[in-house]
Structure 1
């Protein structure tokens, strides 16, 4: 079973007002600078990381532990952590003291000044860079669905955006963000990196903010397109789906299946659609390139990775978790509901603080009904349960 791991970026907030707090440096000092917690671009956010894992349960346990560790450190400094992909309340932000960050801040100006977004990064182990590039070329068409599955940023600088994942729009202001053309080989990937840095428009390879890339520091592919989910269980679900997608891509490469080669322009439209609608409307089908319901798009993803999930014994659990997510919605729905219930944007943050460290993700009759709906639209699942 291929190892995988997760990095989650969390917002640090005032538990009363909901405003971001620049406490990352103090939190790390209080926590003793543990290896599974680190700085991010702004002091109003903190990153927690898992070690490489093999099972869903191991990953989930480490994610719970990481969020609790960060929240304890925040409490000790007068704040809390919230799994929010953008801050509902606008405020000035504080650059983390770092020479490289200072150079980025000077060069990119308002993009840097307003950069306070929190994502979910999933790493999956690879044997070589050539293997990694074969994966990147075959997963790119499916990645916009992960925006919809994790959408958790409906508010931006105190305003309702009309987007389920406005983080996607804010993040895409960086010049290298988004989907890329097919690479074909590790050499071609390296040549592109060198050419991009050679333009002088970015500082280094670390600024290759692609939807998915080869990790610079680990023998992994790194999928970076998702919002940080509100619930820990959803982060684990996405990681399991990503690992299955990577394994499926490797099998396609071994069988000589060519990448879909969808034009970058279409992939950008698919990502925009997922950012706008989340799970609430239509998405672009990765293979058909036409609008379908969100549930149909997710069912297509599940069908695509089903053989890999069955081999690891993760199919049934993943199917149930997907049905539950389709039923209750992502963090954007929870944020909107909390704000509409009378708490306003500060109330949305307070609700997020509670959800961030909870063990939510239970089963109910509504999810069972959704599961039945998914199965009706996914013939592959009938009669072939894990």
Structure 2
């Protein structure tokens, strides 16, 4: 095992990847994703195609503060919305599509995606969702595994905070994050195991690929994983956020949690860890109930309401953040608790107007906020 890390949380780098749906004015999915990427990819950082033709993904550069990240996310979303508008399309920031579609989303033409469709069959037709992935810099893969062991305990709280997919295919799913339920159909998806070392992590990845549950390392869809392309740990539990402000808030929370984990390792502190099956059960509860749910608290090892756990999470992460990020975090959490998560705001708009078209309008208006 490598030495404990010494990097302060306030010095950690952070980057965000966001997936979006492309829709027409009625909210129906468009198959123009690859075309928009081809036309705008040279102007928009990190723009790339996704498995389904109706999706598109952006990635920020390396950032260090919430304010910096917020500005870059707003810029990327604004430019991507402008590129979509050039084809009379809209950018939809929701974890799931809202409107009933006649056929499953078309697959983006590529040998890898076409092989995925053959290998996994109808699963591919039912997992078209949009998420938000946060990368935080780590000193080594061995340290990253130990950080994952600590961060995984907070996954239900992160999921509840980031929930933004209550509607799918024309109806209310009764969940705050239906995306989480859909994404869980992948055999390689779910909370990461608790690992004793980076060697055990690598052996498990190899075994999963060997079974065919993942075609390659890119298909290790754990909610926390080590990046193979950058020296980062990647947290993948979130729905894509309704607003850039909420995405930046969530990223600061993740950055703060990684910093808290690094300090905990440095100081020899441990937290109770749940077995994977219990963590899956608590993630299901968080996906269903959002901020109104409860789960086992990593801070107390007792079941507590999620809203109370957000207070405990803030207490854990704030000491390792710089002054600007502490203010950004507290302001952002206050806004979410006052105005609601993406899922709560979607439902509130539907209750106010009574149509999913109104919810689509809300989402497409808020995308650059």
TM-score for both structures, normalised by structure 1? 0.89
* Cα separation, 2, equivalents of 1:188 and 1:95: 34
CA distance in 1, matches of 2:239, 2:213: 26
Tell me what 2:161 maps to: 149
C-alpha contact 1:273 1:284 (8 A) present in aligned 2: no
Does residue 5 (structure 1) correspond to residue 15 (structure 2)? The answer is yes
| CA contact 2:272–2:301 (8 Å) conserved in 1 | no
Query: Partner residue of 1:98?
Result: 110
Q: Distance in 1 between matches of 2:91 and 2:346?
A: 15
Greater RCO structure (CA 8 Å; 6+ sep) = 2
Aligned partners of 1:82 and 1:352 also within 8 Å: yes
Runs (4 or more) in structure 1 with deviation over 4 Å come to 287-290
Q: Secondary structure at the match of 1:84?
A: coil
Query: Is this contact kept in 2: 1:85–1:152, CA < 8 A?
Result: yes
CA–CA distance in structure 2, aligned partners of residues 141 and 324 of structure 1? 24
CA distance in 1, matches of 2:122, 2:111: 18
For residues 299 and 279 of structure 2, what CA distance do their matches in structure 1 show?
11
Whether 2:277 is the aligned partner of 1:268: answer no
Which residue does 1:137 correspond to in 2?
Answer: 149
How far apart, in 1, do the equivalents of 2:68 and 2:113 lie? Answer: 33
8 Å Cα contact 2:28-2:99 kept in structure 1: yes
Q: Does 1:127 align with 2:139?
A: yes
Is 2:52 aligned against 1:48? no
Corresponding residue for residue 353 of structure 2: 342
Give the drift of 1:200. Answer: 2.4
Gaps of 5+ in 2: 1-10
Question: 2:133, 2:234 within 8 Å by CA — same for their partners in 1?
Answer: yes
In the alignment, the residues of structure 1 paired with residue 112 and residue 264 of structure 2 have an alpha-carbon distance, to the nearest angstrom, of 39
SS at match of 1:85: coil
Q: How do 1:8-19 residues align onto structure 2 when only pairs under 5 Å count?
A: 8-15=18-25, 17-19=26-28
Following the alignment from structure 1 to structure 2, what is the Cα–Cα distance between the partners of residues 50 and 199?
Answer: 34
Give the structure 2 partner of residue 245 of structure 1: 257
The CA deviation at 1:287 is 4.3
| Residue-by-residue CA offset, 1:66-90 (whole Å, 9 max, x unaligned) | 1111111111112010111100113
Q: Secondary structure at the match of 1:88?
A: coil
Per mean C-alpha deviation after superposition, the further-off stretch among 234-243 and 193-202 is 193-202
